Amino acid sequence: MNIHEFQAKQLFAQFGIPVPIGKEIRTPRAAEKWAAKLNASVYVVKAQIHAGGRGKAGGVKLTKNCAEVPALAKELLGRNLVTHQTGPKGRKVRRLLVEEGAGIARELYLSLLVDRDSGWPVFIASTEGGMEIEEVAAKAPEKVLKEPVDPAVGYQGYNGRNLAYGLGLPALEPSILGSFIALLGNLYRLFMEKNASLVEINPLVITHDKKLIALDGKVSLDDNALFKHPDFQAMRDLHEEDPLEIEATNNNLNYVKLDGNIGCMVNGAGLAMATMDVIKLAGSEPANFLDVGGGATKETVAAGFRILLKDRNVKGIFINIFGGIVRCERIAHGVIEAAKEVDIRIPVVVRLQGTNADEGRKLLQESGLKIEVATDLWEAAQKIVALTGKRRKKADAAS
């Protein structure tokens, strides 16, 4: 789960990481009131969307004039912001963060995430703050520092000193060394206690009066740990999530939208991955990953089927079920039930294998629905691709 910058900064503040004084704002009138109260020398009005690159896209406005704040708020609220992270459709701005501006002397990059290779949390830091870290890594990899932390012992002072010296902070700004090392410790505590998968501060700035401030904040929380943090529910912003993914979550389905045109519904993550591979092998692209789970019921199958049918990109559906725990005739009932509720105008291929597969296939064949039934995976994949037409991504076709 991702949260907004203003929410990330609230978490930072709770963990002793310095942030500018600011407030979430939803109307120009509220912006006017808050700006008057803030009474700062510089005001920053920032669009709150779950995407970076707002600065370059015009989503971050600065003014020295308190009276201008409501107009800037008005300009941003309701606007569709397109950044290089939003995709061409962009995101509608519904909330703002209005905060006190900082006088920037230097911008640093700092993040903490799980390193998939070692399985340890790793700090990433760079003197090239304010830039995309991917860009720094591509152009000047020597400027990207990494400091893994052994989770068995936790963050240690030497981790902080390694990074501080690596960044050249003692020469650059010796007076902030202590607060930098403390900030890293606080960031580590936040990361562990809140079960984050990523915390990023870009930029972490050194101000003219030699203070460290987190000027931006991105926090991703581990979905699998959300049950431990009921308070996070209030931070969820459904406007920032794909409606089909929300519906899937509400039905306990593991669903990830992709950009192909064959909707797949499979029981079991491994089989779902294999199914996507086979669709590609047959010459097309999956429109999604959808695992209805090893113990899929008639209801979950019906919910999954409805979700696939709602996706406009889906030009054909491939249901691939192995009846191990689940029985195939129940799956068939779920498909038939969901199919009755909606008018299916696209080809559907169902491959059933395992417990009561024959019975399931028979139910589907006798349902009167336009559903192709198959037993063999490769045959089924070829069938759905033939029915929807081959469609490869350009990049794939060229390689």
Residues that bind ligand GDP (CB under 6 A): 44, 52-55, 60, 62, 101-102, 104, 130, 202-203, 215-216
- Angle formed by the axes of helices 377-388 and 269-281, to 10°? 50
Q: Between 5 and 285, whose beta carbon lies closer to Mn ion?
A: 5
Closest approach, Cβ 277 to ligand GDP, in A, equals 36
Residue nearest to ligand GDP (CB): 55
Helix or strand (DSSP H, E) at 361: helix 357-365
Count of beta carbons in the 10 Å neighbourhood of residue 174: 11
Count of beta carbons in the 10 Å neighbourhood of residue 147: 20
User: Residues near 351 by Cβ (< 8 Å), separated by ≥ 6?
Assistant: 318, 319, 320, 321, 373, 374, 375, 376, 377, 380
Q: Which does 93 bind (CB under 5 to 8 A by kind): Mn ion, ligand GDP, none?
A: none
Residue of the chain from 86, 127, 197, 202 that contacts Mn ion (CB under 5 A):
202
Among residues 197, 200, 237, 205, which one has the least CA distance to residue 217? Answer: 200
Closest approach, Cβ 83 to ligand GDP, in A, equals 7
Q: Between 122 and 131, whose beta carbon lies closer to ligand GDP?
A: 131
Closest approach, Cβ 132 to ligand GDP, in A, equals 9
Among residues 99, 29, 19, 18, which one has the least CA distance to residue 61? Answer: 99
Q: Number of residues in contact with Mn ion, rule: CB under 5 A?
A: 2
Residue 99 bears catalytic tag: no
Count of beta carbons in the 10 Å neighbourhood of residue 321: 28
Give the strand pairing for 218-221 and 254-257: unpaired
Residue 200 bears catalytic tag: yes
User: Residues near 399 by Cβ (< 8 Å), separated by ≥ 6?
Assistant: none
Of 99, 107, 200, 285, the active-site residue reads 200
Q: Between 202 and 300, whose beta carbon lies closer to ligand GDP?
A: 202
Stretch that binds Mn ion, among 32-40, 199-207, 244-252, 278-286 (CB under 5 A): 199-207
Q: Between 54 and 280, whose beta carbon lies closer to ligand GDP?
A: 54
* 216 is a contact residue toward Mn ion (CB under 5 A): yes
- CA–CA–CA angle 220, 308, 224 (5° rounding): 25
Q: Which does 382 bind (CB under 5 to 8 A by kind): Mn ion, ligand GDP, none?
A: none
Residues forming contacts to Mn ion in the complex (CB under 5 A) are 202, 216
Please give the positions annotated as active site: 109, 200
